[in-house]
Structure 1
Amino acid sequence: MQFKELALNKPILKAIIEKGYETPTLVQQQAIPLILERKDLIASAQTGTGKTAAFALPILQQLYSKQDASKKGKKIRALVVSPTRELALQIEENFKSYSRYTNLRTTVIFGGTSFEPQKEQLRKGVDILIATPGRLLDLHKQDYINLDYIETLVLDEADLMLDMGFIDDVKKIERLCPETKQTLLFSATFPFKVEALAKTILKDPEKVEVSPTSSTVKAVQQWLYYVPKPQKIELCLHLLRNTIKGTVIIFRRTKYGVDKLEKTLLRNGYKADSIHGDKAQTLRQEALQKFKNKEINILIATDVAARGIDVKNVDAVINFDLPNISETYVHRIGRTGRAGETGIAYSFCSADEKDYIASIQKLINKELDVEDDHPYPLDPKAKPEVHTSNGSKYRKGRKSEASKKKKKRWY
């Protein structure tokens, strides 16, 4: 199938062809006709499957007839709600490139930055708004956003949105939009809470399921290293020195772990930067831009910060800490081996992460290749570490000498 067969108009087709796209991906082939028929939609699709274009192209097509409203007369007619700032910026970039030959205006709003520039953009008039839930509700409360004219509402990465605690915000946003709107829900996984949300807000939805697990797994060579937890940093340095070449994304489970690894790599002379939720938005964008421009070749990230990041030609992924959710593993290794390229994923497994490997292998229906030939092998009999607290050196109810001295007596 070619894009020409999807009943898109010439200005949109021209922009797609300029981006070098000829053949729609599976999710685009299935979703675009249904969205153009104004059906509600549930789509199971992960990042890397072309899902942003699957909803962006038909939305632009539907709004094309209203593009020539005067700037001040423009109303927000399409709303895309996204869980993270990075993903929101990525979606905005896509909308802007696909609508290059139209007069449709897109803007993005998210927290962590000043309100004023975003208010200014909204005052100018917008057709398509991409937003994170908190900032959207803040600006709506201040009367800068009117959702009365929304024709299409998109909830992107719904599973992540609910994991981050946005369920009440999402329900509130949905209620603020007109009942006649079309609702599109995209989610990589469908846990119970996503299904429950879909039942309450969608009307007779069509279903599109694109499982990228097998295609991702085929495109990425996967190596498993059993290693004691304290030696993971040494193994990482060993691989970076001797095996891994090019651009690398390293995943860690915690923000503290990301910062610690970044300091170690910088001390060892590597060009690295990091992204996680506690970093200011400007610093996160700078790190991502430096990685895209090849000014640095190592990006260290937590899963939430990295969801939805689309960087071309990532050579390798390192799972420094294994994820406790199997689907997250597929998300992570999907950062490499994109768009027909091949990639490599290296996973470090300590004694207490062996259960995660079992569930990952069950999900991808494949055994990972184990690499034993490295300097820090894990003893097969090694037991998971058990952390015990030594407790306070003072008996319960006893005060330290210092606190006794500070205490002021009334007598």
Structure 2
Amino acid sequence: MPFKKLHSEIKEKLAELEISTPTLFQTKSIPVIKSGANVFCAAPLGSGKSTSLILTTMHKLKCEEVGTAPRAVVLVANNERAAELNDAFFKFTRHTSLRVYACDDKQHIDLLKSEIFEGVDILILTPKTMNKLLLLEGVNTTQLKIFSIDDASFLADNASYTALMAITQSIHKCQYVIYSEKIDPLLKRFESYFMQYAKKIVIK
């Protein structure tokens, strides 16, 4: 049971939320993500991908705040998804010291920089905003442990794809996890760049 080997604070929260049985996708994906490998995760809508992303991110960061630089980044398609994922994270992190921050594209970049500078553990944002922050030295990636891409279908957009390629070139060492409904040729291309030796979890 993959839930049994998660951090004790996560197990307490799962019990509180009455989540006791992992989905098939969670059973297969959580141990592989926990191993530290780069992973392509493909499964249909409703398979539990978002919860897997949240649980494995919290486990990786040991459910506690450390320093000021982000240790986890989650790339999303847009502001609406950033807000949704932020709310989903909050259900699990509110009794931990983990600091989750979702960037709002509509806010001025200087405001985002100052908010991140205050200290963030998990940063949720679009590729465009992440790239802009990197260009302006508004986010420090030296402490990054895990970099997740939520529902990667949005990378079919050329601007998002280009921004992602620029972002990954500025990150030296990190685990990458890509979530999608299927592993299409666009995603397979990443194996030549930042997804070397990636494992694949596919549920149909």
With the length of structure 1 as denominator, give the TM-score of the two structures.
Answer: 0.47
Give the letter for the 1:172 counterpart. Answer: A
Cα deviation, residue 41, structure 1: 0.4
Residue number in structure 2 paired with 1:105:
99
Cα deviation, residue 10, structure 1: 2.0
**Aligned match for 1:182, one of 141, 150, 175:** 175
SS in 1 for 2:61: helix
Cα deviation, residue 44, structure 1: 0.7
Instruction: Judge conservation of contact 1:110–1:136 (CA < 8 Å) in 2.
Output: no
Give the letter for the 1:196 counterpart. Answer: R
Instruction: Judge conservation of contact 2:30–2:56 (CA < 8 Å) in 1.
Output: yes
Residue number in structure 1 paired with 2:30:
32
> Map of 1:69-218 to 2, 5 A cutoff?
69=66, 73-115=67-109, 117-163=111-157, 165-178=159-172, 180-211=173-204
> Map of 1:352-371 to 2, 5 A cutoff?
none
Post-superposition CA distance 1:40-72 (Å, at most 9, x none): 10111243221011122122112117x253xxx
Give the letter for the 1:10 counterpart. Answer: S
Residue number in structure 2 paired with 1:323:
none
Give the letter for the 1:45 counterpart. Answer: A
Rounded Cα–Cα distance in structure 2 between residues aligned with 1:164 and 1:51: 24
Larger CA Rg, structure 1 vs 2: 1
Q: How many residues are aligned here? A: 204
Rounded Cα–Cα distance in structure 2 between residues aligned with 1:68 and 1:186: 25
Give the letter for the 1:133 counterpart. Answer: P
> Is there any run of 5+ residues in structure 1 with no aligned partner, and where?
212-411
Rounded Cα–Cα distance in structure 1 between residues aligned with 2:42 and 2:22: 17
SS in 1 for 2:183: coil
Cα deviation, residue 189, structure 1: 2.6
> Map of 1:260-271 to 2, 5 A cutoff?
none
Higher RCO, 1 vs 2 (CA within 8 Å, ≥6 residues apart)? 2
Rounded Cα–Cα distance in structure 1 between residues aligned with 2:96 and 2:87: 15
Residue number in structure 2 paired with 1:293:
none
Post-superposition CA distance 1:204-239 (Å, at most 9, x none): 11111122xxxxxxxxxxxxxxxxxxxxxxxxxxxx
Rounded Cα–Cα distance in structure 1 between residues aligned with 2:79 and 2:125: 8
Residue number in structure 2 paired with 1:41:
39
Instruction: Judge conservation of contact 2:2–2:31 (CA < 8 Å) in 1.
Output: no
Rounded Cα–Cα distance in structure 2 between residues aligned with 1:161 and 1:12: 31
Instruction: Judge conservation of contact 2:65–2:121 (CA < 8 Å) in 1.
Output: no
> Map of 1:59-70 to 2, 5 A cutoff?
59-64=57-62, 67-69=64-66
Structure 1 residues 117 and 167, CA gap change in structure 2 (3 angstroms):
same
Give the letter for the 1:194 counterpart. Answer: L
Rounded Cα–Cα distance in structure 2 between residues aligned with 1:156 and 1:181: 16
Instruction: Judge conservation of contact 1:149–1:177 (CA < 8 Å) in 2.
Output: no
Instruction: Judge conservation of contact 1:85–1:132 (CA < 8 Å) in 2.
Output: yes
Give the letter for the 2:68 counterpart. Answer: K
Structure 1 residues 139 and 102, CA gap change in structure 2 (3 angstroms):
same
Cα deviation, residue 200, structure 1: 2.4
Cα deviation, residue 122, structure 1: 0.8
Q: Percent identity?
A: 24
Cα deviation, residue 35, structure 1: 1.2
Q: In angstroms, what is the RMSD of aligned CA positions?
A: 2.0
Rounded Cα–Cα distance in structure 2 between residues aligned with 1:164 and 1:112: 21
Give the letter for the 1:17 counterpart. Answer: A
> Map of 1:394-405 to 2, 5 A cutoff?
none
Post-superposition CA distance 1:287-342 (Å, at most 9, x none): xxxxxxxxxxxxxxxxxxxxxxxxxxxxxxxxxxxxxxxxxxxxxxxxxxxxxxxx
Residue number in structure 2 paired with 1:10:
8
SS in 2 for 1:79: strand
Rounded Cα–Cα distance in structure 1 between residues aligned with 2:65 and 2:100: 14
